[in-house]
Amino acid sequence: MAPGTIADESLANKQKHIVEVSGDNDSVPSLYRNVDNATLQAKASRYLFNYGTKFMPDVICGSKGMYVYTASGHKVLDWTSGQMSCLLGHGHPEIVKTIADHAAGLDHLFSGMVSPPVISLGERLCSLLPDGLDKAFFLSTGGESNEAALKMAKVFTGKFELVALGASWHGVTAQALGTQYHFGRKGQGPLMPGMHMLPAPNAYRSVFRKPDGSYDWEAELDYGWNLIDQASCGSLAAVIVECIQSSAGMHVLPPGYLKALKKHCERRGMLLIVDEAQTGVGRCGDIMAIIHEEVVPDILTLSKTLGNGLPLSAVVTSAEIESVCAERDYCFYTTHVNDPLPAAVGDKVLEIIVRDNLVAHSRALGTLLHKGLRDLQSQYECIGDVRGRGLMAGVEIVADRTTKQPALELARAIGDRAYELGVWANLSSHPSFGGTFRIAPPVTITEEQLREGLRILGEAFKSTPGTMPL
């Protein structure tokens, strides 16, 4: 592509831009071509607010299927599904058609109106869930759905204290942030009152060990609840939890943990809220991660994967909770609640997942992914741990397997090299992430694409100094 600038072009011309990228017999359409990366980055630095992350050096000008494309024409396998959201890949033709049809014919309505795609999504979603998850409504983001769920728990129970896990990530609105112990709590004064934290169930690093050295999560969980019971003012309303703590580094709840957590909730008259933002809709080898755990929460929240990259989230609960909350004037009335266009997309996502048997596909390809990552672990001593389930995986980079000392700089170097070679596997250099790659490709990925990604990742380890080949 010839370098150029869009600085002096009219808005009409800007809207006609396409990026043309060759390779693997595809030419990927986008809104932009002939753009100059340095010029755009300079404008980004001048005009865009830093909301808590540094922008990557490359401006992304196209996305299609499993890949994203940079302004310079670099083609990168997207192993994080955007922000863990494009479950079916970028630009899925049926999703594109659904968006176009509803943008033209049924896009946005007054919040008190209801429409066929919202009704259809509610029916399809609830029919895929266990009894007790019978009523749904739809919002825009995961943080918003968690905010709504936490408020619902408070209204239903008449209590106000909330419990979450250490290293959790549930959103940046007030109540959701109060239950978020990974990052983002500082700099704003007091958070919501009544917030409590259980120890993060980190099987790799927890100090709670049985005599044989295995992880004693039961003792850790009981210890955490003992502290909360001492700190509580007697108004415990709900626990919110992720089945796989993604932002914490892809830590999977130990088998039996969620069942034990629900029993703790029942003993204290609390509700259990499960946040399936990333684990839901088939990614982990079950339609929802709670199916794997054989636990029915009182409230389920969804986002990310449900909208395939569009802003769509859901709150699902029982008819009993809905009835009581309605009697008590529960209100979560927003501009985009139950909007038809994103609901139509969510309905199409669920239809495709079931129709194309993508849950089983995710389970099978997940087995291949984890085998490939463990093969790499057997070759490089810097890989301290490989964990996850289905098409969600974490790869933790350490300086020493015995001490488990994090190797943040090495992890960054491996991640940069992988990106250079053509795979994007999300890695935050922030110390709270501990140098862990978070891998979550679209569930439509093929075996060939998965093997290609593993090959590239292996080349990144091989060509990065300090990976300690075995």
Q: Which residues of 30-57 are buried (b: 16+ CB within 10 A; e: fewer)?
A: bebbbbbbebbbeeeeeeeeeeeeeeee
Contact 362, 443 (CB under 8 A): yes
Largest CA distance in the chain: 71
Question: What residue type is 438 in one-letter code?
Answer: R
Q: What is the dihedral of CA 124, 130, 134, 136, to 10 degrees?
A: -60
Q: How many CA atoms lie within 13 A of 214 on its CB side?
A: 4
* Strands 271-275 vs 299-302: parallel, antiparallel or unpaired: parallel
Spatial separation of the C-alpha atoms in residues 353 and 360, rounded to whole Å: 10
**Residue 298, phi-psi category: left (phi > 0), alpha (psi -120 to 50), beta (remainder):** alpha
Q: How many CA atoms lie within 13 A of 398 on its CB side?
A: 17
Q: Which residues of 370-401 are buried (b: 16+ CB within 10 A; e: fewer)?
A: bebbeebbeebebbbbbbbbbbbbbbbbbbee
How many Cβ atoms are within 10 Å of 470's Cβ, its own excluded?
Answer: 10
Q: Which residues are part of the catalytic machinery?
A: 169, 242, 275, 278, 304, 438
Quick check: helix, strand or coil at residue 107? coil
Contact 421, 459 (CB under 8 A): yes
List the Cα angle 387/371/165 in 5-degree steps.
10
Nearest residue to 313 (alpha-carbon basis) of 343, 335, 288, 286: 343
Nearest residue to 65 (alpha-carbon basis) of 455, 456, 458, 446: 446
Q: What is the dihedral of CA 378, 384, 388, 394, to 10 degrees?
A: -110
